[in-house]
């Protein structure tokens, strides 16, 4: 019936990765001849070439590029299926692939993961950050099993549960004129350098919920990858940043920075844990959500 076998996808991927049939053959533990045969047969059956033969090298045709994208999408899913079944057979529970869509949540996640690993010794936790389609796409595409995000999305097939409430605050350095004020208004940032993580402006709450509604903007916008460096920059007076209050207070021993409320009533935010509904009855997955929820309630006791 079907033409495309797993091995074909495997070959297409290996050739693209190693550039030649010979090299790909080595990786696949086959001879070059065997590959050449299968490739010819595949192209014959498909009725079109997958590679242009240019001299002694191969360049993918349009069909080849397409097949490569299919291979890169499907093969990892097969591998993951096998891994999950292997773990199942060995009495282990499985693996939990967590995707992060929110930079500062990383610190929070660590606090959940360590008790979780203790409770579920047979579950591997794997934290990922880069996805082909962004967060929910990764969920739908089975690249991850759980998503940590500030933007929930109530759509059929996915469930989101709030697991963490926090206040987003402005972080300022020791000499900063705003240090110690009760709160800051959008226009007071128009002379400032704002430091953020490298994500689109639509995903930065300080823009969407604070500056843009008031028609304000900072003087400059600097991009920093990591929280530590960001705090260092702020501490040395190079700019201001927007981070969760708990994170700022956590780090205030290490860096000389202080939180300032954003607006008169502060900027309330929530973090959500999203997962596929079909997975809702996987016990070790459910347990992660529950554990996060427990922490949420604990945190609440401190709040008021």
Partner DNA sequence: AACCATCAATTATTATTTTTCATGCAATAG
Partner DNA sequence: CTATTGCATGAAAAATAATAATTGATGGTT
Nearer to DNA, 58 or 257 (CB): 58
The residue among 71 and 206 lying less far from its own copies, judged by its C-beta, is 71
Q: Residues 140, 150, 274, 250: is their CA dihedral positive or negative?
A: positive
Give me the residue label for tokens 């070059």.
32
Q: Which of 157, 162, 213, 266 binds its own copies (CB under 8 A)?
A: 157
- Cβ proximity to its own copies, 156 vs 180, nearer residue: 156
Do residues 210 and 262 touch, judged by C-beta distance below 8 A? yes
Question: What's the CA gap between 284 and 92, in Å, rounded?
Answer: 11
Q: Does 84 bind its own copies (CB under 8 A)?
A: yes
One of 118, 182, 265, 278 touching its own copies (CB under 8 A): 278
- Candidate list 155, 254, 286, 300; residue touching its own copies; CB under 8 A: 155
Please report, as ranges, the residues that interact with DNA according to CB under 7 A: 7, 20-23, 29-34, 36-41, 53-58
Is the CB of 69 or the CB of 294 nearer to its own copies? Answer: 69
Site size for its own copies (CB under 8 A): 50
The Cα–Cα gap between 151 and 94 comes to 27
Check binding of 82 to its own copies (CB under 8 A). yes
Contact 293, 161 (CB under 8 A): yes
φ, ψ at 130 (rounded to 5°) = -105, 130
Q: How far is the CB of 89 from DNA (least distance, A)?
A: 18
Question: Scanning residues 10 to 39, which ones bind its own copies (CB under 8 A)?
Answer: 10, 28-29
Q: Classify 205 in phi/psi space as left (phi over 0), alpha (psi -120 to 50) or beta.
A: alpha
Q: Are 231 and 240 in contact (CB under 8 A)?
A: no
70 burial type by CB count under 10 A (0-12 exposed, 13-18 middle, 19+ buried): middle
> Is 201 an interacting residue with respect to its own copies (CB under 8 A)?
no
Which option in its own copies, DNA, none does residue 182 bind, with CB closer than 5 to 8 A by kind?
Answer: none
Describe the crossing of helices 62-89 and 6-18 by its angle, rounded to 10 degrees: 110
Q: What span, in angstroms and rounded, lies between the C-alpha atoms of 125 and 32? A: 38
Binding site for its own copies (CB under 8 A): 1-7, 10, 28-29, 46-48, 62-63, 66-67, 69-70, 73-74, 77-79, 81-82, 84-86, 88-90, 132-137, 140-142, 153-158, 202, 276, 278
């Amino acid at each position: 019936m079907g033409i495309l076998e797993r091995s074909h996808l495997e070959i297409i991927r290996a050739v693209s990765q190693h550039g030649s049939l010979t090299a790909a053959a080595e990786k696949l533990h086959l001879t070059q001849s065997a590959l050449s045969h299968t490739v010819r047969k595949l192209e014959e059956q498909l009725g079109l070439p997958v590679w242009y033969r240019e001299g002694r090298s191969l360049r993918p045709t349009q069909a080849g590029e397409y097949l490569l994208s299919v291979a890169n999408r499907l093969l990892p899913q097969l591998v993951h299926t096998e891994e999950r079944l292997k773990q199942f057979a060995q009495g282990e529970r499985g693996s939990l692939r967590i995707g992060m869509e929110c930079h500062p949540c990383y610190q929070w996640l660590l606090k959940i993961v360590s008790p979780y690993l203790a409770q579920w010794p047979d579950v591997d936790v794997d934290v990922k950050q880069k996805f082909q389609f962004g967060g929910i796409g990764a969920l739908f595409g089975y690249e991850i099993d759980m998503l940590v995000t500030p933007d929930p999305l109530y759509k059929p097939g996915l469930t989101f549960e709030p697991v963490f409430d926090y206040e987003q605050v402005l972080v300022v350095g020791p000499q900063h004129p705003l240090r110690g004020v009760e709160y800051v208004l959008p226009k007071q940032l128009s002379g400032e350098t704002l430091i953020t993580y490298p994500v689109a402006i639509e995903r930065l709450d300080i823009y969407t919920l604070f500056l843009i509604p008031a028609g304000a903007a900072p003087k400059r916008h600097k991009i920093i990858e990591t929280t530590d460096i960001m705090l260092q920059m702020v501490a040395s007076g190079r700019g201001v940043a927007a981070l969760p209050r708990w994170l700022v207070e956590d780090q205030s021993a290490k860096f000389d920075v202080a939180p300032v409320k954003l607006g008169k009533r502060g900027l309330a935010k929530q973090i959500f844990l999203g997962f596929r509904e079909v997975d809702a009855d996987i016990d070790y997955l459910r347990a992660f959500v529950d554990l996060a929820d427990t922490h949420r309630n604990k945190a609440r006791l401190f709040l008021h």
